[in-house]
Homo-oligomer: A and B are copies of this chain.
């Protein structure tokens, strides 16, 4: 007949994220996560394939936490809001956020984020042929910045300096988008 589940995949991922937030990524351990949930380590394997899948699940959770801007917003603001949202998630979860750059995500949440950027770029009138590439470069630049900040690569600089860095990054991206593509090689 079965038995009522005590834990769930979501509970496992939430506990793992809390552990990472509190004590760093090294603290995310099958044993430690199980301890949090008052369960034996082996109980986790019913809900995640293995430790690697647990970390991939963390990526999923982080992506879901990134707010997608409403469709009504002007396209340029949409991109800015998206970038700001990503940066905030990174600052909330600095230990786990770097996983986003390291573990290629093909989950629904990842596709949704990509689609949101595609839509904004299309609304901005970027030629269809350049949209996918522009999305990759924008994502990479914003993620790279957010990871760097979260990991403390800018820690020698005061917060206003880093904030200004981020503003300048967004300005760079705007410049790149407003100018025509390079002509093909001769």
Residues of A bordering B, CB below 8 Å: 98, 101-104, 133, 136-137, 140-141, 143-145, 147-148, 151-156, 164-165, 168-169, 171-173, 175-176, 179, 182
Contact, CB under 8 Å: B154 / A136: yes
| Choice from B137, B144, B173, B179 contacting A147 with Cβ under 8 Å | B144
Give A175 to B175 CA distance when docked, in angstroms.
7
Q: Is the interface of A mostly helix, strand, loop or mixed?
A: helix
Contact, CB under 8 Å: B145 / A140: yes
Contact, CB under 8 Å: A133 / B164: yes
Give A164 to B182 CA distance when docked, in angstroms.
11
- For the A-B complex with A136-B165, A168-B182 known, give 9 more contacts whose Cβ atoms are closer than 8 Å: A98-B101, A101-B153, A133-B164, A133-B168, A137-B168, A137-B169, A171-B176, A171-B182, A175-B175
Known pairs A175-B175, A176-B172, A176-B176; A140 contacts B136 (CB<8 A):
no
List, in ascending order, chain B residues with CB within 8 A of A103's CB: 151
